[in-house]
Amino acid sequence: MSARAERPAPGWCAREVEEELPGLRLLCAEVTVNRRGSLAGASPPDVERRLKELSNRFRGATAVAVRREPVPSAYRVFYRHIGLDPEVVRTPLEAAVFARMMKGGFLSRGLLEDVLLVGLLDTGVPVWALDAASVQGPLGIRATEEGERLGRGAGGPSLPVGRLVVADSSAPLAVLFGELAREHAPRARSERLALFAVQVAGVPELFAEEALWTCRAALEAA
Amino acid sequence: MASLEQFTVDRAVAPGDALDERAARRSLRAQVARLERELSHVVATGFPHVPASAARVADHGAGGPRLLGLAQLERERDALAGRLQDVRRLVHARVEHERRAHELLERMKLEPGRYRFVRLPVRDLGEGGCGVWEVRPRLGLIGMLAGWWQLTLSSGCPLPKGSR
């Protein structure tokens, strides 16, 4: 079955989160990395070329104007709904566009980061990656409980009660729109990755699927 | 195309009269959404004269993602409404500034002699670039002594090889 034919799997969502934040969805896809070399190493020419094209598309004035577009606007609204100020903690797309403005282009930061960036810039939907070997069960979104830490290990930072996280069946693996647990982040030679995209109200499902497909296609290409 | 079904996991049971509060939170989130869109629109259209940071709600919003309660949503709504008012005031002040600049330019065109050496950057008129309208004497010192004044528009940009 081709990568295009396999649709992403929906994640789960805790009831209280779903009731409070309708439209919030997690879409997941497991990917086999067929690219040679390290995930942190230099990107192949096709990925670098794509980054250059995207650098031309997103110029200075877009950094501010992008907030009015439907998908970026939906993420800004969602940020407000979960207690984040998008001017203080930028949405993933705006953070990338501002970085482009400051650095003069989308700079390559390694294969995996570049692929995730391309998926984000193409659709406005952010995608993250976890090491699939360290994920237990399906991914979903919930609020943390007392005493939880980020990641399954004892050394992860403790999380306050009620923090929204992306979790598997046993532990929070990532703060929603935030940091990943270090021990669950992809390694340089990880062979399988668990990608997830966060879709919010106002973002068409097609965009989220396309973001995941873009990343998957880029990583599974030989 | 069939929609993907999302699985819901029960983690708590809401008490009965939490329904009213839930409706109130839903309404507040709708208000917050509308205010955020309006604020983004005003900032985007007012840029660069309205800085993007004008949309920042002070002392707010870096505490981590969480479900907001009724009181928190109300504070969010009120802070956004206040910020939107502030930004609209900035935009209004800018519009006034440009209007006064246009009026000044018209007066400079009509009576350049009354505005000797007055400079008006094109940015003040809402235009891009670094040009400057300036009233200068015709023919240098002779014009100054004879009262011959003219309105000029310079490009504002330095020559690549420095001034002549």
Average pLDDT over residues A100-117: 92
Which has the closest alpha carbon to B30: A68, A22, A70? A22
Residue written as tokens 């919003």? Answer: B61
Span B49-60, mean pLDDT?
72
Who among A7, A10, A82 is closest to B66 (CB)?
Answer: A82
Domain range list for chain B: 20-56+70-94, 111-154
Contact A67 B40 (CB under 8 A): yes
Quick one: pLDDT at residue B62? 62
Task: Give pLDDT, residue A58.
Answer: 85
CA distance A118 to chain B (A): 24
Q: Which of A13, A138, A175 sits opposite B64 (nearest CB)?
A: A175
pLDDT surpasses 70 at B61: no
Burial A127-152 (b: 16+ CB within 10 A, else e): bbbbbbebbeebbbbbbbeeebbbbb
Q: Among A45-54, A73-82, B52-61, name the one with the lowest average pLDDT.
A: B52-61
CA–CA min distance B124, chain A (Å)? 19
Partners of residue A10 in chain B, C-beta under 8 Å: 4-7
pLDDT one-digit tens code per residue, A156-199? 999 999 999 999 999 999 999 999 999 999 999 999 999 999 99
> Tens of pLDDT along B81-131?
999 999 999 999 999 999 999 999 999 999 999 999 999 999 899 888 889
Nearest Cβ partner of A14 from B9, B52, B64?
A: B9
Instruction: Tell me how many residue pairs between chain A and chain B have CB atoms under 8 A apart.
Output: 135
To the nearest whole number, what is the mean pLDDT of chain A?
92
C-alpha–C-alpha distance, residues A145 and A149, integer Å:
9
Assess whether pLDDT exceeds 80 at residue B144. yes
Q: Which of A15, A84, A160 sits opposite B61 (nearest CB)?
A: A84
Do B4 and A64 make contact, defined as CB atoms within 8 angstroms?
no
Whether A4 has a pLDDT exceeding 70, the answer reads no
Distance of residue A161 Cα from the nearest chain B Cα, in angstroms? 9
Residue A70, pLDDT above cutoff 90? yes
- Asked if A73's CB is within 8 angstroms of B40's CB, the reply is yes
pLDDT at B58: 60
The pLDDT of residue A2: 46
Give the domain A9-220 fold.
Phenylalanyl-tRNA Synthetase; Chain B, domain 3 (3.50.40)
Which among A16, A73, A89 has CB closest to B61? A89
Which of B25, B53, B76 has the CB atom closest to A80's CB atom?
Answer: B76
Q: What is the ipTM of this complex?
A: 0.90
Peptide bond into A45 cis (omega under 30): no
* Residue A172 Cα, gap to closest chain B Cα (Å): 14
Is B115:B107 a contact under the CB 8 Å cutoff? yes
Cβ count within 10 A of residue A76: 28
Q: Pick the range with the lowest mean pLDDT from A110-114, A121-125, A168-172, B2-6.
A: B2-6
Residue A87's region, left for phi above 0, alpha for psi from -120 to 50, else beta, is: alpha
Element (DSSP H or E) covering residue B23 = helix B18-46
Q: What is the reported pLDDT for A202?
A: 95
pLDDT of residue A1: 39
Say if the Cβ atoms of A176 and B11 lie within 8 Å.
no
How many angstroms away from the CA of B111 is the closest CA of chain A?
38
Which chain A residues contact residue B60 at CB under 8 A?
A: 85, 88
State whether B44 and A12 contact (CB < 8 Å).
no
Shortest distance between the Cα of A36 and any Cα of chain B, in A, equals 33
pLDDT at A71: 96
The percent helix, strand, coil of chain A (3-state, each to 5) is: 40, 20, 40
The residue of chain B nearest to residue A169, with distances taken between CA atoms, is: B9
Q: How many residues does chain B have?
A: 164
Q: CA-nearest residue of chain B to A85? A: B61
Cα–Cα distance measured from residue B30 to residue A21, given in angstroms and rounded to the nearest whole number: 11
B15: pLDDT strictly greater than 70: no
How much is the pTM? 0.85
Give the start-to-end residue ranges of the domains of chain A: 9-220
- Per DSSP, the residues of A68-133 read GSHHHHHHHHHHHHTTB-TTTS--HHHHHHHHHHHHTS-----HHHHHHHHHHHHHS--EEEEEGG
Cβ contacts of A204 within 8 Å, gap of 6 or more: none
Say if CB A207 and CB A123 are below 8 A apart.
Answer: yes
Cβ distance A10 to B5 less than 8 Å, yes or no, reads yes
Q: Judge: B37–A64 Cβ closer than 8 Å, yes or no.
A: no
Residue A132's alpha-carbon distances to A43, A100, A109, A137, B144, in angstroms, are 21, 30, 21, 10, 80
